[in-house]
Amino acid sequence: MCSTATHIKILILDDDPFMLKLLAKMLYNQGFAQVSSCSNGIDALKQIDHPGTKPDLILLDLNMPDMDGIEFVRYLVDRQFKGHIVLVSGEDERMLKAAEKLVHAHQIPMLGYLHKPFNPDQLFEIIKHWAPSVAKEQQSSDKKVYIVEEIRAAISNHELVNYYQPKVAVASGELISVETLVRWNHSVDGLISPDQFIGIAEQGGLINDLTRLVLSDALAQAKIWQQSGQEFRVAINVSMDNLASLDFQDLVVNLAKENDLSPQKIILEVTESQLMGADARIPLEILSRLRLKRFHLSIDDFGTGHSSMAQLRDIPFNELKIDQSFVHRAWTDETLRAIYDASLAMAKQLGMEVVAEGVEDEQDWQLLRQTGCDLAQGNFISKPMLAADFPRWLEEWQGRVRNGLISDPV
């Protein structure tokens, strides 16, 4: 499959030794190198409890003699398992669907199910939609790798530029907010995507400097928009590492004040890009205090395993962003649709505003309309753009809205 498939840990749990071998072989052939197998639930739970062997994905047989698949899922819930599941069974489709519903009810992300006997293509079909990180890393696997010092220089030379991508109301087409997405304008290599430098900046201890630059540029821009009578909010991406020190809160509060922006105008999008450190109290404290000051908080990439249920439980988010991997094509793919529906329903139940990311075409857009999703973001509406291109886009978008984008298809 790709080099990144080698980092992914997959656990196969099945009491049938033949099935264990078969699945392991299929996965190896698709490039997954870290595949382990267990023939019973107890052994599997031991692997899950061990940080070094904790799987990202479990292929789970429903029918096992001692602990069956459903019982096993309950133990996963107790452990707040953050990986994904594929159910495997020879039971009829209805039984599998029922089990799928149950897994969803427990809010464990499920990629789909395999009905025995199955072929490698069916397995691949399910796995290929999984983990945008896999797809993203796959795309960037042959791209140039930068070192910390280059990124440090890029920050101090102000080579980072903010692009902005609109989030619009699905019902009215109204522009509600814009997300700030940073790029590196490299003198030789051109425009570099954040996937190629954010992770390195985090690892190299540069993320605070990077965020300070992105935030101050974004809020200065927000001030300009506000002065021209624009009402929308501005979102910025915050790394978990930014939330390790209480200074972050002061930075946000001070920059908002300096630019005459009320906190309601600013959204902080948070993803758990790295495992939270042993002490999760500081991020929790910073986010809660920012929320008390009326800044808006958004949980990003929801459903990918980076954004966990525990975060949802502990942090008072205003907005939930359903990850693009569950939005684009959800109108035609049952599994994506199930995850999309579940995320939407949960967010609504929690009183949060829901953004669907990765809206790429008219069909995606129509699904959002049919299902009552609040906001849409994606290339169908607009790619991320420079602030200078914003007025032209807005005019064009308003034209599209007037021409029937928000009326029902005939």
Distance CA(45)–CA(152), nearest Å, equals 42
Of 193 and 230, nearer to ligand C2E (C-beta) is 193
182 contact choice in Ca ion, ligand C2E, none (CB below 5 to 8 Å, kind-dependent): ligand C2E
Name which of 237 and 311 has its Cβ closer to ligand C2E: 237
Smallest separation, CB 9 to ligand C2E (Å): 23
Residue ranges that bind ligand C2E, judged by CB under 6 A: 165, 181-182, 193-195, 198, 211, 214, 237, 239, 269, 271, 300-301, 324, 357-360, 378-379, 384
The yes or no reply on residue 217 touching Ca ion (CB under 5 A) is no
How near is the Cβ of 180 to ligand C2E at its closest, in Å? Answer: 6
Stretch binding Ca ion (CB under 5 A), from 105-113, 224-232, 262-270, 390-398: 262-270
CB of 252 to ligand C2E, least distance (A): 13
- With contacts defined by CB under 5 A, name the span among 37-45, 74-82, 231-239, 279-287 that binds Ca ion: 231-239
Q: How far is the CB of 213 from ligand C2E (least distance, A)?
A: 9
Q: How many residues at the interface with Ca ion, by CB under 5 A?
A: 5
Could you tell which of Ca ion, ligand C2E, none binds residue 307, using a CB distance below 5 to 8 A set by kind?
none
Torsion of CA 341, 342, 344, 348, to 10 degrees: 130
- 237 contributes a contact to Ca ion by CB under 5 A: yes
- 58 or 375: whose CB is closer to ligand C2E? 375
269 binds Ca ion (CB under 5 A): yes
**Residue 307 interacts with Ca ion (CB under 5 A): yes or no:** no
Report what 239 binds from Ca ion, ligand C2E, none; CB cut-off 5-8 Å by kind.
ligand C2E
Only one of the segments 70-78, 80-88, 229-237, 250-258 lies at the binding site for Ca ion (rule: CB under 5 A); that segment is 229-237
Residue 299 contact, options ligand C2E, Ca ion, none, Cβ 5-8 Å cut-off depending on partner type: none
Cβ 351 vs Cβ 364: under 8 Å: no
Determine the residue with CB nearest ligand C2E.
378
Contacts with Ca ion by CB under 5 A lie at: 237, 269, 300-301, 357
